[in-house]
Chain A
Amino acid sequence: MGLEYVRISPGFERYMPKDYVDLVKYGQFGRQVDVQQLGQFKELVEEHPMCAGCFMAYFIRVFYAALPNPEDTIVIGTAGCARLALSQAAVPFVYGNYGDTNAVASGLKRALTIRFPDKVKDVVVIAGDGGLIDIGFGMTMHSWFRREKFTTIMVDNEVYGNTGGQESGMSPKGVQLKMAPKGKQFDKINAVELAKVAGCVYVAKLAPTNPKRIAKTIRRAILAARHFGPTFIHAYTSCNIEYSIPTEKVLEDARKREKQDFAFYEWMTDEVREYFEEIEKKTEEVKA
């Protein structure tokens, strides 16, 4: 329905909650905001109970600011720290059971396609490393094999944060965590390569050091999913609690990991590349 559903009926401004009026007046609906202007518009998520300095929380703020079409976006999450913020945003949020995200998103996207064949409805999964690559692995992979047209974003803190710091498949080898008292015995799973092999049309990996680039990556992943097929972003979002990273050092840590194993990486099919070149050329023409 787009903006129609956001707009306040004339005469009702006085009766709507302030939060709502602000979202309509100063928010992101119907316009593209620049993430570097965070704080100068009404954000889709402002309040959340995540830990101070949690980089996952920061990533989620940037994620919402980057949405190309927030008035027609549905976010799917699952058990894990991310849902603490996702469930409080001004964007419809679905929470089912732990690890079910990519199956729920498959059903939801198909239903929306049946019901609104001519409208854009973006479906985006944001879930933890445990949710997507351990418990939900089969559903994650199969949504990609089936070429379901939605975006999957893994907020990888390399641990089960929400349950108090257990090892996940994405924890680096050797790291001592709960349920890995002798250190993790096997390598961090290569999610990016799995996504490519499984049929994602756009795959990116990043550490959240550069908000503009995060926003661009998210926007690209969502646009490519709309038209071509599954897309995947693997984001390093450190857990400062379980990895004992002092709050004032989280960015330093992200920069360090970016140099080690989270260098920005972007891969896409030729078809998707041509599409971006096309639309990016068009926006430049508009600007010129």
Chain B
Amino acid sequence: MPEQRVVDADYLLLEAPRERKFITGAQAMAEAVKRANVDIAIAYPITPQSEVMHLVGDLWAQGYLRDYYRAEEEYGAMSAIAGAVRGGARAFSATSGPGLLRGLEAIASWPGHRLPAVLGVLTRVVNAPLSIQPDNVEIAYLLNCGIIVLHAENQQDVFDFTLAGFVISEKVDVYIPVAVCTEGFFVTHAKGYVNMTPEDMKLPPRDPYKAPVPPTDCEIPPARIQRDAPVQKSNFMSYLIHAVWQQEVWSSNIRAMKYIYKYLGGPIEVVNPDAEVFIVASGCAAAQGREAVRYAQLEGLNVGLVKVKSIRPFPEKEIRQVLSKAKAVIIPEHNIVGWLAKEVKACIPDNDKVIGGPRVYGGMTLPVELIMEKIYSVFGIKKEKKVVV
């Protein structure tokens, strides 16, 4: 293990030199953890996540992390993350599909407890019948927890979002966890080029006293006095305190937006802003959307892409603005419920122009041709289907 020196977070994220490597998404996530000065990682195996936490375990064995263990199951893992973060440590875990749902009661309580941490979500089918393939319906379950939800398109995003995730999560005016989601296998097990910061530089350690809610470590005076805990005697107080606290969680979520601009170049990326027709997509679907834009250009069709990087906070204003003149909006997704289409429809006034789909699920690939079919149909182009037998 090379000696790592602490550098300023802004320097590491925005200015440090970068070296190009050809690595998998799982490696990209672990490489970010390596540079994030993580105290403790807690793992529980599930395909396709396991690769990430194997690599993080190796980092611990090499001395990059202070502690690491394989938990009893995901509820235990995510609860232990809560304990570690309350104790002032910087913590990381990752999971997939059914593992995410098993850990969800704990995860959903992290923002309310004001616990900064990063959780990798490497998507996989949930629900029956069994499949281990990269359907991303699980992200729908995360959307109402208060947690920040980033959706990575490729290995580079995985690296950038994970490393920046720690920094954003620990900002005093944010102080809620960040989920870095990406499609299992398509990204985790495939290689792509990633520009990475030097291996011998790491983030400053977490300072748990720079916090809206202090850590539980018996170090910050005054000592706790006896108090009438909110949920005990009066229902009114418990409603009120819960309400105020949750408002603050969601405000924190929105306050993260300025850091998403600063460190990730904004919550959306727009390709061809003057397009007539837009594809709005996140994660892997954005990569396919990019290809569709290229195909369309070859055919002289004016199509653009809005890649949504941040699902929570959701870039309502930005999306509304880009789509204001669009004739049609096509939203390809890797799940059956169409959670992204619902989000987009909810934030634009003329949402009858939204075409929810194409959707693939069960972990299927999303052929560009499926997106092209929608593009042809909005442009009124009739193509003969070639059936290859």
Contact = CB atoms under 8 A, between A and B. Distances in A.
Nearest to B109: A97
Interface string B106-127: 1001000100000000000000
Given A100-B75, A103-B71, A88 B229 contact: yes
A5 B80 contact: no
Interface stretch (B2-10, B218-226, B289-297): B218-226
A5 B216 CA distance: 13
B85 A111 contact: yes
A218 B84 CA distance: 24
Interface stretch (A14-22, A171-179, A239-247, A271-279): A14-22
A100 B79 contact: yes
B228 interface: yes
A6 interface: yes
Interface string B65-101: 0110101110111011111111111010000000000
Interface string B42-77: 100000000000000000000000110101110111
Contacts of A33: none
A116 interface: yes
B87 A112 contact: yes
Contact of B226 (A8, A89, A103, A105): A89
B60 to A, nearest CB: 12
Contacts of A47: 226, 228
B75 A103 contact: yes
B227 interface: yes
Nearest to B205: A115
Contact of B89 (A90, A94, A110): A110
Given A4-B221, A96-B106, A19 B86 contact: no
A280 interface: no
Given A110-B67, A121-B217, A103 B87 contact: no
Nearest to A138: B72
Contacts of B217: 74, 112, 115-116, 121
Contacts of A74: 216-218
Choose among B106, B220, B222, B227 the residue with the greatest number of A CB atoms under 10 Å from its CB: B222
Contact of A103 (B79, B218, B232): B79
Contacts of A90: 223-226
B109 A146 contact: no
A97 B79 contact: yes
B216 A108 contact: yes
Most chain A CB neighbours (cut-off 10 Å) among B73, B225, B226: B226
Contact of A88 (B80, B85, B223, B227): B227
A106 interface: yes
A266 interface: no
A87 B106 contact: no
A96 B76 CA distance: 12
A146 B77 CA distance: 13
B226 A46 contact: yes
A189 interface: no
Contact of B76 (A91, A92, A103, A116): A103
A114 B66 contact: yes
A108 B226 contact: no
Contacts of B91: 107, 111
Interface string A54-78: 0000000000000000011110100
Given A84-B232, A104-B80, A107-B87, A146 B219 contact: no
Contacts of A39: none
B89 to A, nearest CB: 4
B311 interface: no
Contacts of B227: 88
B69 A111 contact: no
A220 to B, nearest CB: 22
B232 A107 contact: no
Interface string A36-47: 000000001111
Interface string A134-163: 000011011000100000000000000000
B343 interface: no
12 contacts: A4-B221, A96-B82, A96-B113, A103-B72, A103-B79, A104-B82, A107-B79, A107-B81, A108-B83, A112-B217, A115-B88, A121-B218
5 closest A-B pairs by CB:
A111-B87, A107-B83, A107-B80, A107-B84, A108-B83
Interface of A: 1-2, 4-8, 16-17, 19-20, 23, 29, 44-47, 49, 71-74, 76, 84, 87-94, 96-97, 100, 103-116, 121, 138-139, 141-142, 146
Interface of B: 39-40, 42, 66-67, 69, 71-73, 75-77, 79-89, 91, 105-106, 109, 113, 216-229, 231-233
Given A89-B226, A103-B71, A115-B89, 16 more contacts: A5-B219, A46-B226, A88-B228, A88-B232, A94-B216, A97-B105, A100-B79, A100-B106, A107-B40, A107-B83, A108-B83, A112-B87, A114-B66, A115-B87, A138-B72, A139-B72
